[in-house]
Amino acid sequence: MKKTGHISSFLSGAAAALTLSLCLTTALAASGKVSYNFANVALDGGTVIAAGADITAANGQQIPGSILYTDETGGKTNYLPLRKISELLKVEVSYDSAAKTVYLGKQPDKSAAESQPAAGENVIDLRTPKTVPENPRRGDAELIRSRGGTILPDGDVNSYRGNEKLFKNKNGDLWYEYLVGNESALNDQDKKLAEKYLVNGEYPKNKKGESYGLWQLAYYVGYEPDLQNQLDGYIRAAERQKAADALMGLSKEECPHEYAYSLYDKEGEVIREEKDPCQGHFEGKSMEYVRQAIEEGRLW
The helix (H) or strand (E) run that includes residue 193 is helix 188-197
Give the pLDDT confidence score for residue 299 in this predicted structure.
Answer: 55
Q: What is the pLDDT at residue 235?
A: 93
CB 62 within 8 A of CB 22: no
Given its phi and psi angles, is residue 82 left (phi above 0), alpha (psi -120 to 50 degrees) or beta?
Answer: alpha
Specify the pairing of strand 227-230 against strand 212-213.
parallel
**Predicted structure pTM score:** 0.56
* Sequential DSSP letters for 250-270: --TTT--SEEEEEEE-TTS-E
Comparing CA positions, the residue from 2, 52, 8, 58 lying closest to residue 29 is 8
Query: pLDDT digit of tens for each residue in the chain (300 aa)?
Result: 333 333 233 223 333 333 334 444 444 444 456 677 767 777 766 677 877 677 776 556 667 777 777 765 666 777 777 777 777 777 777 666 555 577 776 666 544 444 444 444 344 344 678 889 999 999 999 999 999 999 999 999 999 988 889 999 998 888 999 999 999 989 888 999 999 999 999 999 999 999 999 998 999 999 999 999 987 899 998 898 899 888 877 888 888 888 999 999 999 999 999 988 876 776 666 767 766 766 666 655
Element (H, E) at 238: helix 237-245
- 148 neighbors 222 (Cβ within 8 angstroms): yes
